[in-house]
Amino acid sequence: MYAYDKFDRSLVDIRVAEFRDQVERRVKGDLTEEEFRPIRLMNGLYLQLHAYMLRVAVPYGTMSGDQMRRLAHIARKYDKGYGHFTTRQNIQFNWPKLSETPDILAELADVEMHAIQTSGNCIRNVTSDQFAGATADEIADPRPYAELLRQWSSFHPEFSFLPRKFKFAITGADQDRAAVKWHDIGLIVRKNDAGEIGFEVIVGGGMGRTPVIGKTIREFLPEKDFLSYQEAILRVYNEQGRRDNKYKARIKILVEAMGAEEFARQVEVEWEKIKDSHIDVPQEEVARIQAFFQPPELANQDATSAVTSEFAKKNFIFASWLQNNTNAHKVQGYVNITISLKPHGGIPGDASAEQMDLVAALSDEYSQSEIRVSHEQNLILPHVALKDLPAIWADLDEAGLGTANVGLLTDMIVCPGLDYCALANARSIPIAQAITKRFDDMKRLQDIGPIKVKMSGCINACGHHHAGHIGILGVDRKGQEMYQLLLGGSGAEDATKAAILGPGFDEHGIVDALEKVVAVYLGVREDGEEFLSTYRRIGAQVFKEAVYDAA
Amino acid sequence: MTLLSLTGIESGPWITLLDGELPSEGDSIAVPIARLLEEGVSAFATAGALGAAVPTGTSFAELEEVVRSLTFVAIEFSAFGDGRGFSLAVRLRKDMGFKGEIRAVGPVMPDQAQFLLRSGFDSVEITDESRVGAFRVSLERFNEFYQTDYMGARSIAHARHGISQ
Ligand code: SF4
């Protein structure tokens, strides 16, 4: 894991002092609310429906056990005892007091964390594959590059006031778990024929009211030009991105308007001007950062574990957990485990202080004190020995964290919706809870198989409904909360936009409709065919008839 | 109104020319860029020093047409969140090699002082004098930076390895 040196430390410390000063000036009236707004946003502080909300960065989703313990402490001391993990691999606290936020930031700085640029019209926290550095299907660990991006984009003098927020995602694996094609800039680590590392650069993806899948503008960007090329993209965007309408201000609109080819051409022109101007860091610095991400030394293990197999034979839930919540590790006898934050009936992505403490303790004992957050709002313990799984699962299960549903229907991405969010049209949490109640049977879930349900409480699409195999979108119809059903989206390497199936439903109707869609799938699927493949094979019509004719 | 130098170098006073107005001989004048492009630089040959008043929406290409005749540029922010102003300064310095004074005019915030300096601004026109102190504090806030600035000055990444440029 990356560790701060005196430079990193000094920057976050000064930032805390600066924010303390800004809060004081705001309280005294020296700063107007209008001026304070971008300042607090750049420190992750939102004004929500009921209170302030503080969003803390978990850079590229990697943190230590100590950091998790600090988050638990903050949840206890400054909040109501819980936190909410988001699709940006961040954590949000929903109830901090404005006057206490500088103290919270100081507590975070103490464990090398911050809330810098987790909001505002600037370059946001870079997201990545939650299994980075630990997965079997990886070309290279993308996190050193994510860290380079983090440093380059922090307090960038030219790009701190962009037309709109700007999100990077990077992956080093063939299987895209970071939804890179849905980001302002998506990066995929590639190797060329000479075995050198470089990046495929994808721009102009995004959700929101105008969903767009990003376009590749460069197949292979050499590692040494990594940052200068990003800067060239930002140059074009900062000059020409629209500032007259916030719904048209994201880079996706510019790329669509210009055409990806013309956009790429302009980027190349800018890049020629700046590529040799020391934007990229010296090679020594890349090596220094990479050294923090060396794979851990793991003791030799057998490829199988008798303890684990035996336990799985006796316990169906554990067997499901083993199947759904683990992912192949680079090293034989090890796995990465995903801790589901989607207990049936719970609030997706929420974790209590006690649960955070437990995960921290488990990480110390079993996963090299490493924890990850996924954009699907779950927690990961990487590098876990297969033989330790029964013990870990037992501890998790006792704390309400043993749900075996990762990748299954109830492992939904769900935005906070009208229960918290000032922009929401409809509640999303109660719908998610109703769905988990309807699909509470593990055998049934297992039979339905891998399926991604994603739900947003309004058109801003924080719940990624456009990328859901099944998407649910909350809308306001004459003061009534209604829900639209979308099918066929994907956030993976085969990214597609989900399409609206037909008229919306009320809060009960949407759950019925979802169930009908699943029933159609179960009826027509071929052997081993997953939901998305079936949908792609047979199209929307059959689903439409089933959902609307019976209604 | 107070003029604050960001670089420590004394900045020159100048008059911003209003529409239709003609400069008195020898005056230092800032001419709105649209007028400069329309009437041509030669129309202002009698000025002591010629500058341009450049709204943030000005394209870099337009600025490039006249930059060689200018001794200073006033970049006019429409709002503090209009980040194009920073890019204009960077382009002037880095791409066009502009050496004259660049001044920020309009509603910039004290908290942006270091961004302004590091993008290439020399001075800022502060309308609310009670904020001069806050500008000064903000200007001293950070002493090391992750990025090289517009001049390619040493970044933290270089400092870590004892590399200077
Ligand atoms: S999708 Fe809408 S309701 Fe949900 S968090 Fe985003 S803005 Fe709020």
All CATH 3.30.413.10 domain ranges in chain A, comma separated: 135-291, 413-549
CA B20 to CA A521: how far, in whole Å? Answer: 73
| Distance from Cα A354 to the centre of ligand 1, integer Å | 27
Nearest-Cα residue of chain A relative to residue B112: A157
When pLDDT is averaged across residues A448-466 and rounded to a whole number, the result is 97
Mean pLDDT, range A145-169, rounded to an integer = 97
CB contact under 8 A, A281 and B137: no
Q: Is B23 a residue whose pLDDT tops 90?
A: no
Give me the residue spans of the domains in chain B: 2-160
ipTM above 0.90, yes or no: yes
- C-alpha–C-alpha distance, residues A248 and A478, integer Å: 26
Give the pLDDT confidence score for residue A166 in this predicted structure: 97
Query: How high is the pLDDT of residue A377?
Result: 96
Give contacts of A 368-397 with B, CB under 8 A: none
Please judge whether A160 and B81 are an interchain contact, meaning their C-beta atoms are less than 8 angstroms apart. Answer: no
- The answer to whether the CB of A255 is under 6 A from ligand 1 is no
Give the closest of A39, A157, A284 to B161, CB-based.
Answer: A284
Tell whether B155 lies on the interface with A, counting CB pairs under 8 A: yes
Quick check: CB of A197 below 6 Å from ligand 1? no
Around Cβ A387, how many Cβ atoms within 10 Å? 16
CA B78 to centroid of ligand 1, rounded, Å: 30
Are B24 and B9 in contact by the 8 Å Cβ rule? The answer is no
CB pairs under 8 A between A and B: 112
A164 torsion bin: left (phi>0), alpha (psi -120 to 50), beta (else): beta
Q: Is A528 left (phi over 0), alpha (psi -120 to 50) or beta?
A: left
Q: In this structure, which CATH number among 3.30.360, 3.40.50, 1.25.40, 2.40.128 belongs to the domain B2-160? A: 3.40.50
* Cβ neighbours of A274 in B, within 8 Å: 94
CATH number belonging to domain A306-398 = 3.90.480.20
Which pLDDT score is estimated for A12? 97
- In chain B, which residue's Cα lies nearest the Cα of A243? B82
- For residues B24 and A288, which has the higher predicted lDDT (pLDDT)? A288
Sheet holding A350-352: strands in order across? A45-47, A52-56, A91-93, A82-85, A350-352
CA distance A111 to A96: 19
Q: Does any CB of chain B come closer than 8 Å to the CB of residue A7?
A: yes
DSSP B51: E
Contact of B132 with chain A, judged by CB distance below 8 Å, is answered with no
A170: which 2 tokens? 């990077």
**Percent of chain B whose predicted confidence (pLDDT) is above 70:** 99
Q: Which amino acid is at B51?
A: G
Q: Which DSSP string corresponds to A279-307?
A: -SPPHHHHHHHHHTTPPPP-----SS-HH
pLDDT category, A365, cuts 50, 70, 90?
Answer: very high
Confidence category of residue A398, pLDDT binned at 50, 70, 90: very high
- Residue of A18, A123, A224, A278 to mutate, interface with B, max B Cβ within 10 Å: A278
pLDDT band of B165, cuts 50, 70, 90: low
Whose CA is closest to A465, among A158, A230, A208?
A: A208
Residue A47 CA to residue A27 CA, distance in Å, equals 15
Whether A457 is in the pocket of ligand 1, judged by its Cβ within 6 Å, is yes
Q: Please say whether the structural domain A6-110 has been given the CATH code 3.90.480.20.
A: yes
- Of the pLDDT bands very low, low, confident and very high (cuts 50, 70, 90), residue A550 is low
Q: What tokens appear for A151 in the block?
A: 């440093």
Q: DSSP letters along A160-185, please? A: SS-SS-B-EEEE-BSS-SS-GGGSSE
Q: What pLDDT sits at residue A42? A: 86
Quick check: A158 and B86 CB within 8 A? yes
In the predicted structure, residue A457 carries a pLDDT above the cut 90: yes
On whether any CB of chain B is under 8 Å from the CB of A162, the answer is yes
- What integer pLDDT is reported at residue B152 of this predicted model? 81
Selected from 3.30.1300.10, 3.40.50.1820, 3.30.413.10, 3.40.50.2300, the CATH number assigned to the domain covering A413-549 reads 3.30.413.10
* Torsion of Cα atoms, B68 then B73 then B79 then B84, to 10°: 30
Taking residue A314's Cβ as centre, other Cβ atoms within 10 Å add up to 9
- Closest partner residue to B83 among A30, A238, A288, by Cβ? A238
Best mutation target, B112, B145, B147, to test chain A (most A CBs within 10 A): B147
Q: How confident is the model at residue A88 (pLDDT cuts 50, 70, 90)?
A: very high
Round to whole Å and give the CA distance between A366 and A392: 8
Return residue ranges of chain A for CATH 3.90.480.20: 6-110, 306-398
Cβ contact (<8 Å) for A288 and B160?
A: yes
Q: What percent of chain A has pLDDT over 70?
A: 100
Q: What is the mean pLDDT of residues A285-298?
A: 96
Burial code (b: 16+ CB inside 10 Å, e: under 16) for A453-476 equals bbbbbbbbbbbbbbbbbbbbbbbe
Q: What is the dihedral of CA B138, B144, B145, B151, to 10 degrees?
A: 90
Q: Does domain A135-291 have CATH number 3.20.20.220?
A: no
**Above pLDDT 90, what percent of chain A?**
93
CB-CB neighbors (< 8 A) of B141 in chain A: 14, 18
Of A546, A171, A152, A141, the closest CA to residue A370 belongs to: A141
Q: Encode B143-159 in three state secondary structure.
A: CCCCCCCCCCCCCHHHH
Q: Is the pLDDT of residue B19 over 90?
A: no
Is B144's CB within 8 Å of A7's CB?
yes
Q: Is residue A531's pLDDT more than 70?
A: yes
Q: Residue B87 — pLDDT band, cuts 50, 70, 90?
A: very high
Whether the CB-CB separation of B65 and B37 falls below 8 Å is answered with: yes
Average pLDDT score over chain B: 92
Min mean pLDDT across A4-13, A42-51, B108-117 is at A42-51
| Mean pLDDT value across residues A442-469 | 97
Q: Residue B87: its chain A contacts at CB < 8 A?
A: 158, 235, 238-239
CB pair distance less than 8 Å for A282 and B157: yes
d(CA A151, nearest CA chain B) in Å: 6
Residue A93 has pLDDT above 80, yes or no: yes
Per-residue pLDDT tens over the stretch A218-265: 999 999 999 999 999 999 999 999 999 999 999 999 999 999 999 999
Q: Does B39 contact A at CB distance below 8 Å? A: no
Give, for ligand 1, the residue of A119, A420, A458 to mutate: max count of ligand atoms closer than 8 Å to Cβ: A458
